[in-house]
């Protein structure tokens, strides 16, 4: 298992030399700093703690400043762990985007866009009530909370019952995405499809847990060569 922290810059599209269009998400991955290594003997599990993106000392906590000083680095804005990590790194080392390659299958973890307070029609795709025959007062209600009489017998609402509430703003994972391109010179990678979160949101790119295998890298059209000719 290996992973990196980065920022989602947005979506675009690229073309292969065969003329196939591929929608991709651009993820900026500047070098991550290894802040801590956790082991089963000391912490009960294996993990590597990464720090991403510098932040001024006056804008963070003393705990963050002291924790980063142990790795001889400046305070970091984002600190996350990569569990069951098999990367051969030590505290203070830099982890770059070149740990991934085109064709690899990855999972991307991020915080979904917050939608605010929404009802069950929008939040859970619930069916609307009848608009005629006396149903004018419960068009957008979910109806009874009972489940075959279980609620009345147990005196409680069953876990998982859909209701109105906060939508979005929670950690979510897009699994089994393909890395299309890795640019080590400019510190970014192209990932096929969409990834969670808004633009400039922090995401973690890690090795896919349920992958069926990597795919063959594709050759993209190089538009920079055309610009040099002009």
CATH number at residue 178: 2.40.30.10
Residues 89 and 191 in one domain: yes
CA 188 – CA 87 distance, rounded (Å): 20
Asked if residue 26 and residue 60 are part of one domain, the reply reads yes
- Examine the domain organization and report whether 99 and 63 are in the same domain: yes
Of 167, 195, 211, the residue at which a domain comes to its end is: 167
Contact 32, 51 (CB under 8 A): yes
Q: Please give the model's pTM, rounded to 2 decimal places.
A: 0.85
Cβ atoms of 9 and 26 within 8 Å: the answer is: yes
Is 226 inside any structural domain?
A: no
How many domains, in total, are found in the chain? 2
Q: What is the pLDDT of residues 83-134, one digit of tens each?
A: 988 888 999 899 999 999 999 999 999 999 999 999 999 999 998 888 888 7
**Residue 159 CB partners (closer than 8 Å, separation 6+):** none
The answer on 163 and 135 residing in a single domain is yes
**Measuring CA to CA, how many Å separate 189 from each of 81, 97, 205?**
20, 8, 10
Cα dihedral 55, 56, 61, 65, rounded to 10, equals: 80
132/196 same-domain check: no
Are residues 100 and 26 both part of a single domain?
Answer: yes
Residues 32 and 81 in one domain: yes
First vs last Cα of the chain: how many Å apart? Answer: 44
Distance between CA atoms of 133 and 2, rounded to whole angstroms?
59
Answer whether residue 229 is part of any domain: no
Residues 81 and 7 in one domain: yes
Question: CA 227, CA 218: separation in Å to the nearest integer?
Answer: 22
Digit-coded pLDDT (tens) for 164-216: 999 999 999 999 999 999 999 999 999 999 999 999 999 999 999 998 888 88
Same domain, yes or no: 183 and 81 = yes
Residue 55 lies in a domain: yes
Range of the domain at 135: 115-167
């Amino acid at each position: 298992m290996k992973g990196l922290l980065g920022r989602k810059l947005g979506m675009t599209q690229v073309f292969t030399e065969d003329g196939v269009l591929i929608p991709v998400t651009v993820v900026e991955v500047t070098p991550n700093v290894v802040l801590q290594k956790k082991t089963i003997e000391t912490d009960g599990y294996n993990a590597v703690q990464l720090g991403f993106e510098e932040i001024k000392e006056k804008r963070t906590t003393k705990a963050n400043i002291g924790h980063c000083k142990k790795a001889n680095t400046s305070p970091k804005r984002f600190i996350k762990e990569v569990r069951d990590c098999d990367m051969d790194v030590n505290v203070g080392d830099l982890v770059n985007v070149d740990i991934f390659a085109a064709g690899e299958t990855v999972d991307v973890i991020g915080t979904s866009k917050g939608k605010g307070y929404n009802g069950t029609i929008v939040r859970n795709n619930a069916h609307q009530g009848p608009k005629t025959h006396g149903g004018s007062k419960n068009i957008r209600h979910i109806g009874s909370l009972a489940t075959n009489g279980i609620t009345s017998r147990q005196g409680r609402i069953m876990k998982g019952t859909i209701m109105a509430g906060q939508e979005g703003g929670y950690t979510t994972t897009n699994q089994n995405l393909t890395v299309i391109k890795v640019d080590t010179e400019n510190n970014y990678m192209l990932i096929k499809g969409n990834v969670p979160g808004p633009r400039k949101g922090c995401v973690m790119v890690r090795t896919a847990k349920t992958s069926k295998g990597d795919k063959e890298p594709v050759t993209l059209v190089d538009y920079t060569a055309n610009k040099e000719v002009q």
